[in-house]
Every structure is written in C-alpha cells, then in structure tokens.
Amino acid sequence: MDRTNIISIAKTTLEIEISELEKLKNRIDDQFAQAVEIIHSAKGKLIVVGIGKSAHVGNKIVATLNSTGTPSQFLHASEAIHGDLGVIQKQDVVLCISNSGNSPEIANLVPYLKDYSSALIGMTGNKKSKLAEFSEIILDTHVDVEACPNKLAPTSSTTIQMALGDALAVALMELNDFKANDFAKFHPGGSLGKNLTSKVEQFLSSQKPQVSEDATIRDVIISISASSHGITVVTNGDQIVGVITDGDLRRMLMKGEDISKVFAKDIMSAHPRTIEKDARAKEAMKTLKENNIGQLVVTENGKYFGIIDLHKLLDEGIN
C-alpha cells in the first residue's frame, strides 16, 4: 500500500466520524439539557460506569469533569457487581455508558444503579436496550456507520461518546461559572497551571547583580561577570536608575574612551523595564518578548528585588 492510499484511508475515517458528529449535534435536545441540570443540582458526585471501550471513554470523561469543577468517579461495570457498588451513595448521579446497552454486565447492573443513586443517565446507541429502559434520561449515541473497514470495531461510536462527554463537561463549566483561575487550581504542576497562577517571585534568579551610579568600569565588569545574566542593575540607594548589559560594555570599549574616567552612570540605560515580584510570570514573559530582551528587573514596591530571566521562564513552561 502506498502513501496515497494511507492518506485516503485516514481522510475517509475522519469523514465518517465527522458525519456522525454532525448527526449527534442535530440530536442534542431537552434530554441533554435535563442531564446537565440533574448533574449540576446533585448533592453528591457523578459516578460514570462503563465496560470495554466505553470504560476507557468513561475514564476520560471523569478526568475532564474533575479538572473542570464537577466531582466525578469512574466505576467499572464488572467490578461494580463484585462489591464496588458501595461507592455509590444515594445523593450521587450515575452516568452509565454502553453502546449496545445490553452487554451482560450492564444488563445485570442497571437495576442496582437506578436503586442506589438519585438518578440514572444512560449514554447508549440503543434506545430499546436494558440500559435505556432503566434510565431516567437517555443520551442517544447511535451511529449509522463505524469507521472501521469491517464496521465492527468501536470507532465512530467511541468518538461520539467522547464528544458528548466533552459537551456535558463544558455545559457544566458554564453553569458552575468555572473560570481559567479555577482550572489552574486543579493543574498547579503543569504548564497550564503555571501560566495562569505562577508569580514572578517563584522564578527569580538567585543572583542579584548591582552597582552604584559612581561605580567604576572595573566594578561593573566584576558585577556582570559574577552573574550568568550579562546584566547589572545601577541603583541610587534603594532606587533603580538604570541597567548595564555586556553589550553596553562592548560598545563603550569600541569607542576607545579612557575607562578610568567612565562610570556606571555614563553608560547605563536609564529607566529600564521592570515588573513587580507579585505580578504573574506570564506578564513577565510578555514584557520580555515584546521588548526583545533577555532579562527583566524585578521590584518590590518600586525597589530593586532581583532579576528574572527569559530562559528560566521558558524552561518552566511559561509562554
């Protein structure tokens, strides 16, 4: 098989699944809205039940819901009938996912799911199934064609389940007024969380190069060389008056001036860009990029506090 055929197969697969997604979109109705309202108003958590490929989908839906403000837990259907039903409390809502709605494990389980919970929502492709019979709300995930060439392997059907789970999560996010900062609370270690919540102070350099206005060029060179940033901050007491970079030093030396008569204040760049230590790290990155600079002077109430470096932010996933 050549690459042209491979590409054609991929496109056909996507065309089939896109077509099924369009059908799903047109089926969204009051049943979906009621499901969202039931989950939103529940005093307990959402229990998502599945088996086989639907179990994998269920785990993903749970992960998405938990990270977007809807407490959820996955329950495997085969484990449920062997003791794990105890995880369901009467105030919980159950979302049971099964394409056929009639697999033995699901058929045996649904009466208990209904009795033990406050509401049973069925996500199924078979509205005449055992799952549909016991469900208060039916989310129809019927597909006409699986993308599998044998029309057997769950492909279109699992895509539909996943998409409908995303639709539930997003609708619940809106009802819960779940914002970016809320999202960041559940992702403190990832780049998303860092970009939304991290402060400049968390990424400060351990080095704090500094010279006075009257410092000699020798003192300036020593200060710049002692840190890894290629910059030193010129201060007058507690106040920042300028910065000197290694580039400033090179340009001064190329002029051939008598360096014994040159002081920090003579070659510094006045009024450097600064940022407060309590500002978002993302704001620091934006300032660095917009001004095409590698370091930013950090302040505390306007006074020199430290240096933040572009490469440190990049290494930490701030963008």
Sorted by sequence, the CB contacts under 8 Å of residue 21 that are 6+ apart come out as: 159, 160, 163
3-state class of 96 per DSSP? strand
* Residue-wise DSSP of 130-148: HHHHH-SEEEE---S--SS
Annotated binding-site members for Zn(2+): 76
Q: How far apart are CA 282 and CA 192, in angstroms?
A: 11
Annotated binding-site members: 76
What order of strands is seen across the sheet that includes strand 239-245?
A: 210-212, 231-236, 239-245, 269-270
3-state class of 75 per DSSP? strand
Residue 229 phi/psi, 5° resolution?
A: -100, -10
Task: Name the token pair of 44.
Answer: 């307990």
Please say whether the beta carbons of 230 and 246 come within 8 A: yes
Q: How far apart are CA 73 and CA 89, in angstroms?
A: 12
